[in-house]
């Protein structure tokens, strides 16, 4: 951990009691700040408040009182999910008070080698693969943190100048990380996500590009080269651009040719040996390979990881096989693009479980994928009628169910040996579950109850 005095004697407000907010509040006390912690909800677990107060932190819960804007805070550390049009946040913006996220705080105390990953899809898998690959050859600590569910600042506290940290960073986190400077930045892809928060696609792209804002020619931007738009986006960085591509050969980075992965013209391994399924995971592997090779990782280490790693929970996760059916949990597929790529990963008939929060769009884009890959559909949630319409257009049998849990036995009834039963909702979970993680966990529990087996 780097010693800094930036917060010594400063008055700091931490907004949000998530994992990152709680860790940030305790860290700021160590850094000499006078800390107030605020959450709009009242925690059900009183231990959270007790621990904060025991550290000398003033705690305010149950509201974001606008009066806090007049208490002379020097800095606000905001939970990334709190929008900037929140009245209290907007008041701080109007006053010109710095508003940062915990990722910025983590960067400020980090004293090692930083690799950061962002993108619309594939962030967590790419982050995990990159960390595993670098760790295979490392003589020092290699950890991961960030949007992957582990506090950046908490891990950064325990790392030294020779250690490496691979961080997954969301667009929300990057908006509040003005000085973050990874030596290697990865952009997996950019689709049109979170426009309810960012308002426009350009705002969303700009937030993602904060990952490379402070990079120089001595740093590296690893970026997906499979769309012209992403190639143009790369031109906005001052870093040395390193492309990765499943579709376009480029000797400047990692790419696929005739079923073989190459790094700058040298063979690495066949794509068929990657344990993760689907074209999207080939792309994730290519991104991780580029970062790993830039970090000095050997081909043998890369092969070991890619031939053994079976997936991140909720991200096209293999759950189990039972009576010649395969169950996959892809609850993280909260948009159409993610479900498109998930379906392309299977050469077996798929019984698709899909539906969720109605965000106002329809699903005609999925019709060709339904026709090619889907044997039957179980739909649920607010948008089940729209999902059903797309299934009907594809000529696929569609059954309605209450949710992702009740859909499991329905899918089993429709299945035959050789089929895949896939939860890939193409929608957010918030109409029925608090998060995609809870939805995926409940799906797995339903599969375990059906089969009498535990996930593999």
State the alpha helices, DSSP H only, in 55-164. 87-95, 102-109, 123-137, 152-157
Determine which of 10-19, 126-135, 303-312, 349-358 has the lowest per-residue pLDDT on average.
Answer: 303-312
**Domains of the chain with bracketed CATH:** 11-100 (3.40.50.720), 103-308 (3.40.1190.10), 317-451 (3.90.190.20)
406 pLDDT more than 80 = yes
193 pLDDT more than 70 = no
- Cβ-defined contacts of 244-253 (< 8 Å, 24+): 244/283, 244/286, 244/287, 244/289, 244/290, 245/286, 246/279, 246/282, 246/283, 246/286, 250/225, 253/222, 253/225, 253/286, 253/290
H helices, E strands: number in the chain: 17, 20
Q: Which two tokens stand for residue 295?
A: 């970090």
188 pLDDT more than 90 = yes
Instruction: Answer yes or no: are the C-beta atoms of 297 and 184 closer than 8 Å.
Output: no
Compute the average pLDDT of residues 218-226. 98
pTM over 0.75: yes
pLDDT of residue 312: 84
Question: Which H or E element spans position 392?
Answer: helix 384-394
**CA angle, residues 277, 263, 309, in degrees to nearest 5:** 30
For residue 197, name the pLDDT band (cuts at 50, 70, 90). confident
Report the percentage of the chain scoring pLDDT > 90. Answer: 88
For residue 199, name the pLDDT band (cuts at 50, 70, 90). confident
pLDDT of residue 337: 87
* Strand duo 11-15 + 75-78: pairing: parallel
Q: Which two tokens stand for residue 279?
A: 């074209």
pLDDT of residue 154: 95
Q: Which residue has the tokens 């594939």?
A: 122
Q: Strand, helix or coil at 21?
A: helix
**91 vs 199, which has greater pLDDT?**
91
Phi, psi of 48 (to 5 degrees): -60, -50
Mean pLDDT of the chain: 95
pLDDT of residue 452: 95
415 pLDDT more than 70 = yes
Determine which of 109-123, 312-326, 350-364, 371-385 has the lowest per-residue pLDDT on average.
Answer: 312-326
114 pLDDT more than 70 = yes
pLDDT of residue 92: 98
pLDDT of residue 146: 94
Phi, psi of 12 (to 5 degrees): -125, 135
pLDDT of residue 250: 83
Q: Which residues pair with 399 in a beta bridge?
A: 378
The string over 275-288, giving b where at least 16 C-beta atoms fall within 10 Å of a residue's C-beta and e elsewhere, is ebbbbbbbbbbbbb
Angle, to 10 degrees, between the axis of helix 336-344 and the axis of helix 279-294? Answer: 100
Q: Which residue has the tokens 């998530």?
A: 18
């Amino acid at each position: 951990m780097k010693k800094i005095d930036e917060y010594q004697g400063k008055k700091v407000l931490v907004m949000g009691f998530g994992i990152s907010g709680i860790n940030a509040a305790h860290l700021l006390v160590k850094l000499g700040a006078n800390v107030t912690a605020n959450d709009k909800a009242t925690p059900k677990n009183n231990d959270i408040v007790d621990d904060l107060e025991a550290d000398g932190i003033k705690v305010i819960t149950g509201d974001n009182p606008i009066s806090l804007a007049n208490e002379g805070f020097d800095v606000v550390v905001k939970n990334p999910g709190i929008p900037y049009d929140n009245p209290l946040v907007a008041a701080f913006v109007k006053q010109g008070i710095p508003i940062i996220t915990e990722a910025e705080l983590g960067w400020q105390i980090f004293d090692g080698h930083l690799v950061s990953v962002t993108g619309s899809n594939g962030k967590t898998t790419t982050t995990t693969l990159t960390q595993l690959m670098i760790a295979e050859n490392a003589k020092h600590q290699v950890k991961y943190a960030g949007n992957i569910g582990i506090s950046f600042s908490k891990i950064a506290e325990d790392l030294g100048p020779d250690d490496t940290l691979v961080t997954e960073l969301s667009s929300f986190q990057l908006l509040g990380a003005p000085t973050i400077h990874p030596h290697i930045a990865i952009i997996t892809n950019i689709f049109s996500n979170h426009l309810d928060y960012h308002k426009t696609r350009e705002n969303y792209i700009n937030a993602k590009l904060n990952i490379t804002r402070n990079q120089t020619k001595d740093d590296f931007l690893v970026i997906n080269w499979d769309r012209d738009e992403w190639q143009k986006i790369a031109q906005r960085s001052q870093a040395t651009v390193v492309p990765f591509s499943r579709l376009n050969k480029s000797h400047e980075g990692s790419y696929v040719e005739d079923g073989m992965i190459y790094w700058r013209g040298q063979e690495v391994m066949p794509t068929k040996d990657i344990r993760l399924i689907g074209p999207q995971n080939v792309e994730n592997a290519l991104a991780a390979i580029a970062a790993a090779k830039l970090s000095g990782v050997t081909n043998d280490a890369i092969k070991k990881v890619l031939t053994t790693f079976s997936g991140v929970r909720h991200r096209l996760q293999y759950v189990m096989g039972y009576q010649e059916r395969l169950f996959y949990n892809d609850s993280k597929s909260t948009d159409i693009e993610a479900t498109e790529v998930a379906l392309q990963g299977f050469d077996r008939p798929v019984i698709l479980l899909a539906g969720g929060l109605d965000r106002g769009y329809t699903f005609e884009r999925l019709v060709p994928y339904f026709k090619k890959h889907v044997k039957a559909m179980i739909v649920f949630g607010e948008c089940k009628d729209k999902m059903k319409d797309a299934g009907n257009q594809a000529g696929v049998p569609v059954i309605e169910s209450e949710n992702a849990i009740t859909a499991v036995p329905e899918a089993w009834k429709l299945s035959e040996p050789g089929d895949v039963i896939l939860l890939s909702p193409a929608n957010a979970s918030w109409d029925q579950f608090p998060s995609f993680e809870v939805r995926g966990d409940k799906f797995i529990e339903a599969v375990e109850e059906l089969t009498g087996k535990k996930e593999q």
